[in-house]
Each structure stands twice: as structure tokens, then as C-alpha cells.
Structure 1
Amino acid sequence: MPKQDRSRATRQRLLEAAVACLAEHGWAGSTVSVVAERAGVSRGAAQHHFPTREDLFTAAVEYVAEERSTALRALFPEGAADRRAVIAALVDLYTGPLFRAALHLWVAASNEDQLRPRVTELEAHVGREAHRIAVDLLGADESVPGVRETVQGLLDMARGLGLANLLTDDTGRRDRVVAQWAVLLDEALA
């Protein structure tokens, strides 16, 4: 394998391992050494790609968020055939390991001054992309008063459902809430 391809593969393994470690062990338990070991590379190789811990974890959350966004768009190549399915897929963004990892990063950033601006910028970018995807997949016309806020309310609700799911499996209640939001969005976006 050419050197550039090996480097790209190493970087990808590090990013995926970083998100998994952050989701499983939180900020305190996720060091560059732990991530490097999980990715099957040396600490030096990890630091070659990501000079600081902050570089590694913010890049990891951004990378996985972009991968999830691409996968979400691929689920609905023609847009919103079924709003309930789109809403359920959007809610799923906030109930998996990526959300858990991002949450650990947010909590760490609330206490670490050097991490806070990076995570704030990352969250703004990821939030804008999630909103853009939601608008596209739902076929929402944001020129209509209240539609932008309705879509943002959906994403805020999805984040809340993700938080509720952290401690216990909240699938039953979540399914009922998704069904109700589908009805509300059909009315609001009609």
C-alpha cells in the first residue's frame, strides 16, 4: 500500500478509535495513548497526525459527524418520502456513540478553557450541517414564517431524547414522541 494510503488509513483508525474511547471512557479516560493502542498504532504515530489531545478529539467528532451526515443523506436520496422515517433517522443521530462522545467533549470543554473555543466552533459547524440536512430531507421551506424554528425545535428535541437515552433505553417513549413530531411537522410544513 502506498505511503499516502497508509497514512490516510492510520488517520481514519485514530479518528474512529478516538470517538469510541470518548463514548466509552469519557474525557478523563480517553488519552492519546489509549486511542493509539485501540487503533493499533504507536503513540508517536498518533501524535504525528494529531499533535495535541484536543486536535485528536475535535477532529474525531467532526470526522464521525461528517460520516454520519453522508450516511443520513444516503438513506433518503430522493428527500422526504416519509417524514416519520426522516425524523426517526435524525433522532438516531443523537442516540448513538457519536452523540455520547460529543457530550463528553462538551462537558470537558465547559471546564477547560483551551478546549472550549474549539468545541464551540465544532458544535456550531455540526449544528448548522444537521439543520441543513433536516431542512433538505424534510422538504422544509424556511421562507415560511416559523418553519426554521420548527426544524430547529425538532433537532433540539432530538438532542433531549438523546440525553434521556444515556442512562436507560428510552426506545418506547422515543418512538411515540417521533410519531407525534411527524404529525406536527406534517401540519407545520404543509
Structure 2
Amino acid sequence: MGPVTPRVTPRAPQQDRSRATRRRLLEAAVSCLAEHGWAGSTVSVVAERAGVTRGAAQHHFPTREDLFTAAIEHVADEWLRTLRERADALPRTGALRTRAVLDMLVDLYTGPLFRAALRLWVAATDEDPLRPRVTALELRLGREAHRLAIELLDADESAPGVREIIQATLDMARGLGLANLLSDDSARRAGVVREWARVLDRSLSHSES
């Protein structure tokens, strides 16, 4: 009797298709949430936008809460990864780097991720199943944004006032994002960011001396 030929199964292509479907659902969920809010972003709407059946969507995400919290987390992870890649092209030191890092952080809070996350945050105030998930996610994103700011600005968090100035920077960026929700606030925002970059650079420079 000759050698037995191993049976080859198409598992890898199936896994690739599954990952691709999951990614389309997550990206469609963020887009729907940013455009239509929680009330208008049902699993059916997201599935249609992603080009998959409702059953396929529920196979990956059994509940609506699963889908939208995973979507925000997915895009946040992508954003953090992209920022770290972009960091290699930033000016190495000085005021130019401070301004470039600040621009990157403000981009987060004035972009579609923040708009979608805000919709989810608001929905969580009235949706009991959603609230603990969103609370945990918000804490995690806050920690990650703070850690990334410290890393990119090469700030010494043990120096007096540095932790607070970094947190103030993130709070300011979040406020600029809120101001941008109803109308294009880019002209006023540019002036605020320019002046805050000077304040931030001076504060960090003093902490090193």
C-alpha cells in the first residue's frame, strides 16, 4: 500500500475571507455611527453597507453592542499604529516636532473616529448594556492617547507639571473636536493650535532644565 497523501483543506482562504468580512463590518460600523448616530446604525444597515448578510454580521458580532464597541476599538488601534508609523517622519526635536505632534493629536479629535466614538459615548448614557463596554473603552483610549503623547513628545512625566500639561493638551484637542462637530472650525482651530504649540514647547523645555 502506497503512502497516504495528506488531505489539503482550504482553511487559509476561508480564514482570509472571514478576516476581510470582519474588517468590512468594523469599518462600515464606524462610518454608519459617524453619519447616522446610534439610532440609525442598526446591524442590518451596517451589514448592507459592508456588502454582507445580516446573518454573516451576527456570526462575527452576536450583538449590536459587540459590533460597535469592537468597531471603535479597531479604528483606534489602526489610528495608533498609523501615528507610530508617521512618527518616523517627524522633526527629531524642538518646536517643529512639538507642533507636528500636536497637529497629529488634534487630527484624531477632529476626524471621523472621534465623531463615531462620541455618538457611541452619548448612546451609552441611555443604553445599559452598552455603558460598561464604552466606559472601559474610553478609559483605555484615554490611557493610550496619553502614553502616545508622552512618547512622541519625549516628555519626562516625572517632572513637575508635565503630566498635567499633557493632559491639558489632550483635553484641548478633545474640545476642538467638539467645536468642529457642527461647523467647519478649521480657521479658528489653526490659531489655537499654533499658540498652544508654543505654550507646550516652552513648558516641556522648562521641565528639562
Per the normalisation by structure 1, the TM-score is 0.97
The letter for the 1-side match of 2:15 is: Q
The letter for the 1-side match of 2:85 is: A
The letter for the 2-side match of 1:4 is: Q
Q: State how far apart, in whole Å, the 1-side matches of 2:166 and 2:51 are.
A: 41
- Give the superposition deviation at 1:78: 6.6
Are positions 1:125 and 2:140 aligned together?
A: yes
Sequence identity (%):
72
Contact 1:161/1:174 (<8 A) preserved: yes
- Give the superposition deviation at 1:85: 1.1
Q: Work out which of the residue numbers 71, 79, 86 in structure 1 matches 2:101.
A: 86
Per the normalisation by structure 2, the TM-score is 0.89
Runs of 4+ in 1 over 4 A off after TM superposition: none
Q: Which has the larger radius of gyration?
A: 2
Contact 1:80/1:137 (<8 A) preserved: no
Q: Work out which of the residue numbers 130, 147, 150 in structure 2 matches 1:135.
A: 150
* Stretches of structure 2 lacking an aligned partner (at least 5 in a row): 1-11
Q: Work out which of the residue numbers 12, 23, 44 in structure 1 matches 2:23.
A: 12
Q: State how far apart, in whole Å, the 1-side matches of 2:76 and 2:201 are.
A: 27
2:161 — aligned with what?
146
Contact 1:105/1:119 (<8 A) preserved: yes
- Pairwise CA RMSD: 1.1
Q: State how far apart, in whole Å, the 2-side matches of 1:79 and 1:66 are.
A: 20
- Give the superposition deviation at 1:76: 1.1
Q: Work out which of the residue numbers 161, 168, 181 in structure 1 matches 2:183.
A: 168
Contact 1:131/1:152 (<8 A) preserved: yes
* Stretches of structure 1 lacking an aligned partner (at least 5 in a row): none
- Give the superposition deviation at 1:186: 0.9
2:85 — aligned with what?
74
Q: Work out which of the residue numbers 54, 71, 74 in structure 2 matches 1:43.
A: 54
Q: 1:91 to 1:20 in 2, by over 3 A?
A: same
Q: State how far apart, in whole Å, the 2-side matches of 1:133 and 1:163 are.
A: 21
The letter for the 2-side match of 1:154 is: T
Q: State how far apart, in whole Å, the 2-side matches of 1:80 and 1:21 are.
A: 36
1:52 — aligned with what?
63
Q: State how far apart, in whole Å, the 2-side matches of 1:57 and 1:122 are.
A: 11
1:188 — aligned with what?
203
- Give the superposition deviation at 1:166: 0.3
